[in-house]
Amino acid sequence: CCVGTGMEDHALLGDGIYYESGDKLWVNLYTPSTADWKNESVKVETRTDLPEGEKAALELALKSPEKFTLALRRPAWAGDGFSVAVNGRQVRELPAPDSYLELTRTWRDGDTVALVLPKRLYEEPLPDNPRRVALMWGPLVLAGDLGPEQRRGADGRRGQMREDAPVFVAAERPVADWLKPVPGQPGVFRTAGVGRPKDVTFKPFYQLPERTYGIYWDLFTAAEWEMKSAELAAERKRQHQLDLATVAFVQPGEMQAERDFNEQGEQSWPDRVMGRPGRRGRDWFSFDVPVDPTHPMALVVTYHSDEWRNRTFDIMVDGRRVAKQTVEKEATEPHFFDVEYPIPANWVQGKQKVTVRFEGANGSEIAAVFGLRMIRADEER
């Protein structure tokens, strides 16, 4: 997993710096290092100011002159201005990005190779969504600074993903047109008027400790954002009306909230999707939820569309089944959605609370539940 692989990564970084093949030495990574080659008759020392800078230099030490090939990688991220000089003389014929420059000559002790590798700005899209992108500066992932690090909750988890995370009205435009360097702050960039609801400052990911950050960003054209913003406004209105009708809201997966509503269960466990906590299970889990017996009641349960497989389960209120629900794995963009279940009036008559229980059915697990509301069904929403 991420922690173990991260530790392993440091030990493996040196494996890919140099390769050898016959009389050819491949230089893949420009990182401070030394290669002893050809039974130590050739030594290549690499010095660089990357990743913050853009220069690398190789110095050769040989016991005697020797003919061989240095194959120097031109990274795909190296932009205009890429150059190579041997002993101060510029190499005129340069390779295409993401290929190698092969220098075959008789090398002598003290020979030098100097490279300039300008870092270009570009987008790295998700494989299944070209409009959701990471922003890259050369080999560096840029992270958007979204403010101080969120505090951990009582259960040791961080707060859920920010709902006001910006998007960029910049689709189909080169990233260099709308992500601009901040004067006087090398390696710092800021979006130029394309952020909704606000512009964002970016730094290399490793320079943002103890901050809330974003890595992937949604891109829209102006027309697409006009439609999307209308959808968001309608959803905010729906959510506001739902809040006004709510008698009680249970947040499954959060320790204190589950204690407050007497969570019980067998073979169930907390879950988290897209930063939002929930609970799923194999057998059953339940909550004691307040009701308002002077109004007709309904349950509103929040699920997520990206279940691993279809899930069928029963929803019980004080031991009586109010619904059999199937949550199907959808091929659409993953999203949260609500399902409303009316509760017969006589089920809550004279009561202050009821037990809402989710039970697996027909050998199926219970889909993750990310929110549970008891609402007044006769109020506008």
246 in the same domain as 184: no
Instruction: Let me know if residue 356 belongs to a domain.
Output: yes
Over residues 257-273, the mean pLDDT reads 96
Instruction: Let me know if residue 191 belongs to a domain.
Output: yes
The answer to whether 214 and 200 are in contact (CB under 8 A) is yes
139 in the same domain as 24: no
The answer to whether 208 and 187 are in contact (CB under 8 A) is no
Helix (H) or strand (E) holding 232: helix 222-245
Instruction: Let me know if residue 227 belongs to a domain.
Output: no
The answer to whether 70 and 123 are in contact (CB under 8 A) is no
The last residue of a domain, from among 163, 187, 220: 220
Name residue 373's beta-bridge partners.
249, 300
**Residue 381's pLDDT band (cuts 50, 70, 90):** confident
DSSP output for 12-70: HGGGGSEEEETTEEEE---SSEEEEETTTTEEEEEEE-TTTS-EEEEEEEESS-EEEEE
111 in the same domain as 25: yes
247 in the same domain as 363: yes
The last residue of a domain, from among 116, 149, 169: 116
371 in the same domain as 245: yes
Global pTM reads 0.76
CATH of the domain at 372: 2.60.120.260
147 in the same domain as 112: no
Q: 350 is in which domain, residue-wise? A: 241-376
* 205: helix, strand or coil: helix
126 in the same domain as 109: no
- pLDDT score at 157: 43
CB count within 10 Å of CB 111 equals 19
352: pLDDT strictly greater than 60:
yes
255 in the same domain as 138: no
Of the two residues 58 and 331, the one the predictor is more confident about is: 58
Q: How far is residue 242 from each of residues 246, 374, 377, measured CA to CA in Å?
A: 6, 10, 10
Instruction: Let me know if residue 228 belongs to a domain.
Output: no
Strand pairing class (167-168; 140-148): unpaired
Instruction: Let me know if residue 236 belongs to a domain.
Output: no
Instruction: Let me know if residue 193 belongs to a domain.
Output: yes
d(C-alpha 152, C-alpha 227), whole Å: 35
216 in the same domain as 290: no
Over residues 126-150, the mean pLDDT reads 94
Rounded to the nearest integer, the mean pLDDT of the chain is 93
d(C-alpha 296, C-alpha 130), whole Å: 46
139 in the same domain as 103: no
174: pLDDT strictly greater than 50:
yes
370 in the same domain as 245: yes
15: pLDDT strictly greater than 90:
no
Q: In total, how many domains does the chain have?
A: 3
Instruction: Let me know if residue 381 belongs to a domain.
Output: no
255 in the same domain as 360: yes
4: pLDDT strictly greater than 90:
no
The answer to whether 286 and 264 are in contact (CB under 8 A) is yes
- pLDDT score at 161: 47
The last residue of a domain, from among 116, 133, 148: 116
